[in-house]
Amino acid sequence: MFNSNESEFLKFSNVTKIFKSGHLKTYALDSVSFSLMENEILSVVGESGSGKSTLGLIAIAMETYNSGNVYFEGREIKKLKRKELRKFREKSQMIFQDPYESLNPFNSIYTSVSTPLYGFHSKMPYDEKRKSVIKILNDVGLMPATEYIDEFPTKLSGGQRQRASIARSFILNPKFIVADEPTSMLDASSVAEILTLLKKMKEQYKYSMLYISHDIASAHYISDRMVVMNLGRIIESGSSDEIVNHPAHPYTKKLIDSVPKLGEKLDNIENVNFIPKYINGGMKGCTYSNICPIARDKCKTERPELFDLGNNHYVACFYPLI
């Protein structure tokens, strides 16, 4: 298990989040437990609808939950006092998927990036604010910062905008980052730029991060450890290398097989299968049992719990692939 010297930075314990609309219930999170260690990047991987954004919002105290507990540095988030919550918000930042939305097109880069300073350090003199913005712009590779600081977002490319939005997230020197699909709106070539930047930034600004993505290849690239989600449940977790090289859950294998590979030919395809839209309305069995190629009767009626395959590799499957 976890080395006891390492401290648990964030911990989810049996967290359940249900969205109701009319008589329809969606288990966005269905009894989810995991820990994020101090100074760690942990990836949360799964297709859209699997509950990743809900998890991220709860982690950053921007969404409530129905049951279970969320602990931040050992303290339950629900029980934080107002002042403590303010401190928590200062030290936690979110990077969103769409840099076009997160930067106001009518504000200069300076205005957007410095906003958190005005919120949390309103007394800081203007010159100092400007200096911090210049420093952070240089750190995110918008160099020389003086060429960018008074520009408007419309003048920047998608990758540059996401850098500016990352600059804003880092201006308060946060300890905790939730990056929700930060590259999914970007060109393939900018994805590598942004991920490499986030890795580089971590050496400079020590922080813990939840990296949320539908793309297991980018998750593997950026993080040492990952959890894989399917319809509100964590179905596999472990070291990224281990999971990518030895997936134990059929769903994880599907995610891996779907990663595009340079030069791999998709010729002569006869059957074009597709996966219909499912939600978890409180499933008894495995959430993947509807489409799993190896599901048996038991999978439809009994919930598989996560169990240890060794080396901190956990899977929730009655018939794991390894």
Partner 1 sequence: MSDILSIKNLSVVYKTSNRETSALKSININFRSHEIAAIVGESGSGKSTMGLAIMKLISDPGKITSGEVIYHGDQDIDIMGLDAGELRRFRWKTISMVFQASMNSLNPVTRVRDQFMDTFAAHSMKQDDKMIDFLLEHSGLSNNVKNMYPNQLSGGMKQRVNIALALACNPKILIADEPTTALDVVVQREILEYLASLKNKLNLTIIFITHDISLASMVADRMFIFYDGRVIESGDTEEIINNPLHPYTKKLLSLIISLKSVNNLKFYMPDKKNYNKSNSGCSYYNNCPIRSSACLKYDYHEIINNNHMVKCINVDKVINNV
Binding residues vs partner 1 (CB under 8 A)? 47-48, 141-143, 155-160, 163, 184-185, 187-193, 195-197, 199-200, 214-218, 220-221, 244, 254-277
Helix (H, G, I), strand (E, B) or coil at 30: strand
Q: Is residue 51 part of the contact set for ligand ADP (CB under 6 A)?
A: yes
* Residues 6+ positions from 296 with CB-CB distance below 8 Å: 318, 319
| Other Cβ atoms within 10 Å of 118 Cβ, number | 11
Query: Are the C-beta atoms of 52 and 212 separated by less than 8 Å?
Result: yes
19 binds, options Mg ion, partner 1, ligand ADP, none, Cβ within 5 to 8 A by partner type: ligand ADP
Q: What is the Cα–Cα distance from 19 to 5, expressed in whole angstroms? A: 38
> Given candidates 53, 160, 218, 287, which one binds Mg ion under the rule CB under 5 A?
53
Query: Are the C-beta atoms of 70 and 17 separated by less than 8 Å?
Result: no
279 binds, options ligand ADP, partner 1, Mg ion, none, Cβ within 5 to 8 A by partner type: ligand ADP
Q: What's the distance, Cα to Cα, between the start and end of the chain in Å?
A: 20
Q: What is the Cα–Cα distance from 311 to 314, expressed in whole angstroms? A: 9
Q: Rank residues 53 and 162 by Cβ distance to Mg ion and give the closer one.
A: 53
Q: Is residue 165 part of the contact set for ligand ADP (CB under 6 A)?
A: no
Q: Is residue 52 part of the contact set for ligand ADP (CB under 6 A)?
A: yes
200 binds, options Mg ion, ligand ADP, partner 1, none, Cβ within 5 to 8 A by partner type: partner 1
* Sole window of 52-60, 61-69, 107-115, 217-225 interacting with Mg ion (rule: CB under 5 A): 52-60
Pairing mode, strands 307-308 and 75-76: unpaired
Q: Is residue 28 part of the contact set for ligand ADP (CB under 6 A)?
A: yes
Q: Is residue 161 part of the contact set for ligand ADP (CB under 6 A)?
A: no
Quote the DSSP letter at residue 250: H
Residues forming the site for Mg ion (CB under 5 A) = 53
